[in-house]
Amino acid sequence: MSKRSRPVLVLAAATCAIALVSAPASADRRPARPATPVEVVTEGLDGPRQISSSGGRLYVAESDSGEITRVNPRTGAKRVVVSGLSTPQGVVTIGGKIYVATGEASPDSAPGTTGSTIVVARPGGQPKKFADLMAYELRANPDRQTQFGPDGTPLDALSNPYFLLRDRSRNGFLLVADAGANAVLKVDRRGRVSTFFVPPTQTTGACADVPNNNASGKGCDSVPTGLAYGPDGSLYVSALTSEVAREGRVYRVHPRTGRILRTYSGYTAPTGVAVDRRGNLYVSELLQGMPAGEPPAGFDPSTVGQIVKRQAGHRHPYTYAQVTMPSGLLIRDGELYASAWSIASFLGSPGAGQVVTVAPKAFTPPRRS
């Protein structure tokens, strides 16, 4: 196993037999929004990944349908603003333009489909290539891993961007969490790409004997999936760490140099990260509770996934909110938003994706075994 360059697609074979015994409500009408710990903002989404915000609206990357959808967070009304994309996973809006990270093209994509790029579009307009992340990976190879086998076959996907963030550094423009490249990349206003931060490969614990295509042949790739700034300006990076349970990481790094300031460990398949103004850290665990191998009869997939809160300055800092298959996280106007049922299509329920809000009372003491 080398890079898990398209996070969670590996689940398809293992989980296709799961029966959705507790699927989300129908997307045909807007449900009432009672004051519950986890409230549905909108539903009927296809593979929601990153959530971003601009001008009082949410923007959601729908990976399975190839669309960017704009959502009114008060009413749940949604509208597709960009379509025809190849596996969109990250989205951010700057100056009225929508920038989208398109992930690795799937095997069944139409001929000529290109992935591993950043495209830009106006709402309702046609997307145009802005930055070629695959070309940069082939040229720079940030993680220094072997890219191709002796016969020229890729040993794993080379680039698979998963998250975008507006770069706050001087003269900065975009930061990209490239899960396939195992790197956080910078992209300037002209679409030029450079390497900012390469999280370390994990070679201890459960990762010690995991096969890899690096020099040692062992270890879990970092697979960065989420980015967020903290109130002190530090950059937080979530790392899937080859989906190995309890081996996921969050790195707090210097926003200009990329130097690691602190490492938070013990997560299971973290795919999103957010930090509130008090410094509380939120991490989405996409696969927490997913059984190894074929799930037992009657397994309820709605129990898979949770969001972990690490309360700053607290003696017992960790609490947990059960959110089904959460991926992207966003804190906006003091509210925590999450994309949910993010990989429902792999479990036989396309269109089951949601955006939810998660209230403070949703977080309870540890429930892990």
Maximum separation of any 2 CA atoms in the chain, in Å: 59
What pLDDT is recorded for position 107?
55
Note the pTM of the prediction, 2 decimals.
0.89
CATH topology of domain 11-18+38-362: Neuraminidase (2.120.10)
What pLDDT is recorded for position 16?
33
What pLDDT is recorded for position 222?
97
Digit-coded pLDDT (tens) for 255-312: 999 999 999 999 999 999 999 999 999 999 999 998 887 878 888 989 999 999 999 9
Query: Could you tell me where the beta strands, DSSP code E, fall in 179-269?
Result: 183-187, 193-197, 224-229, 235-239, 248-253, 260-267
Map residue 361 onto helix, strand or coil: helix
Domains of the chain, by residue range, sit at 11-18+38-362
Map residue 82 onto helix, strand or coil: strand
Residue 203 burial (CB count, 10 A): 15
What pLDDT is recorded for position 348?
79
Residue 360 burial (CB count, 10 A): 11
The percent of the chain in helix, strand and coil, each rounded to the nearest 5, is 10, 40, 55
Short-list 154, 164, 151, 152, CA closest to 134: 154
- Cβ distance 54 to 68 under 8 Å? no
What pLDDT is recorded for position 114?
59
- Cβ distance 307 to 323 under 8 Å? yes
Helices (H), 69-201: 133-140
Cα distances (Å, whole numbers) of residue 93 to 24, 82, 98, 324, 341: 29, 12, 4, 27, 24
What pLDDT is recorded for position 42?
98
301/319 Cα distance (integer angstroms):
21
241/219 Cα distance (integer angstroms):
9
Question: In tens digits, what is the pLDDT along the chain, a chain of 369 residues?
Answer: 344 433 443 333 233 333 333 333 333 333 334 457 999 999 999 999 999 999 999 999 999 999 999 999 999 999 999 999 999 999 999 999 999 999 876 555 554 455 799 999 999 999 999 999 999 999 999 999 999 989 988 877 699 999 999 999 999 999 999 999 999 999 999 999 999 999 999 999 999 999 998 988 999 999 999 999 999 999 999 999 999 999 999 999 999 999 999 999 999 999 999 999 999 999 999 999 988 878 788 889 899 999 999 999 888 899 999 999 999 999 999 999 999 999 999 877 899 999 999 999 999 997 554
Digit-coded pLDDT (tens) for 33-69: 445 799 999 999 999 999 999 999 999 999 999 999 9
Cα distances (Å, whole numbers) of residue 1 to 155, 217, 242: 9, 10, 8
Distance, CA of 363 to chain centre: 21
Map residue 219 onto helix, strand or coil: coil
221/341 Cα distance (integer angstroms):
25
What pLDDT is recorded for position 4?
42
